[in-house]
Amino acid sequence: MELLAALGSITFINLILSGDNAVIIALASRNLPPAQRKKAVIWGSAGAVILRIVLTLVAALLLKIPYVQFAGGLALLYIAINLLAEDKKEVSCQEASSFMEAVKIILFADLIMSLDNVLAIAGIADGNMMLLIFGLAMSIPLVVFGSQMLMTLMDRFPIIIYVGAGILGWTAAKMIVADQALGAMLQPYALMVEIGLTALVIAVGHWRKTRGHKEAITGSETTSFPGDTEK
């Protein structure tokens, strides 16, 4: 049961964090003829899978080093809070004019944008390499074909983002507690730390999101343009 929960978490988190990656894939290949476009998406995504698996394996090994896992947990807390706090931004990239150029753009963009995915998935897998590889291999096709649908659902049902942030917060807390050096002091209070940090992620992320919306509304109400005087 625990294995299935971890596998589900890897797939869910990969979907939530990979929306921008899926958009990049679509943008990079949209100028190509239909046949080349499909090949570019397939080969670019396949290369991205291999790159991400290699990077995640490296991250999983590094997280076993004392202090590194603690630092990784703190970084994942930051990622979890930002997942809630940040408004969706428009994603843009160079549009490729050839098949090989599209594949290069997809690979490079995925490499740059995958730090949060790599850290989150390595943390959830907790050193289980087979779970990590299987979870990534299974979730990548879902990312390519399902991210756009999930992004639409997240717009309609924001609770999905809160669930994702909660999973990331819980994973970050488990990483911090499991650190071989600093985590030893927190082991007696492990459950309280995990619940507390998960709640903190959701509370701080929600507060930042609410504050950002209020500032945006206030800014739009106070903005004036030259010539907008009453007659």
- The model's pLDDT over 32-85, given as tens digits with 9 standing for 90+, comes to 787 777 777 777 777 777 777 788 788 888 888 888 889 988 988 988 888 777
Domain coordinates in residue numbering, the chain: 2-222
pLDDT of residue 226: 52
pLDDT of residue 32: 74
More confidently predicted of 172 and 29: 172
Dump pLDDT digits (tens) for 79-121. Answer: 888 877 765 555 555 556 677 777 777 777 666 667 777 888 8
pLDDT of residue 198: 93
- Count Cβ atoms below 10 Å from residue 125 Cβ, excluding itself: 26
pLDDT at 206 over 50: yes
pLDDT at 134 over 80: no
Dump pLDDT digits (tens) for 167-201. Answer: 888 988 988 998 888 888 888 889 999 999 999 99
pLDDT confidence band for 225 (50 / 70 / 90):
very low
pLDDT of residue 93: 54
Q: How far apart (Å, rounded) are the C-alpha atoms in residues 194 and 174?
A: 6
pLDDT of residue 144: 62
Nearby residues of 203 by Cβ (< 8 Å), 6 or more positions away: none
pLDDT of residue 194: 92
- Is pTM, for the whole model, over 0.95? no
Cα 85 to Cα 82, 187, 204, 216: the distances in Å are 5, 30, 8, 13
pLDDT of residue 196: 94
pLDDT confidence band for 231 (50 / 70 / 90):
very low
Q: Any alpha helices (H) in the chain, and if so which ranges?
A: 2-17, 19-29, 34-62, 68-85, 99-113, 115-125, 129-156, 159-178, 190-222
pLDDT confidence band for 203 (50 / 70 / 90):
very high
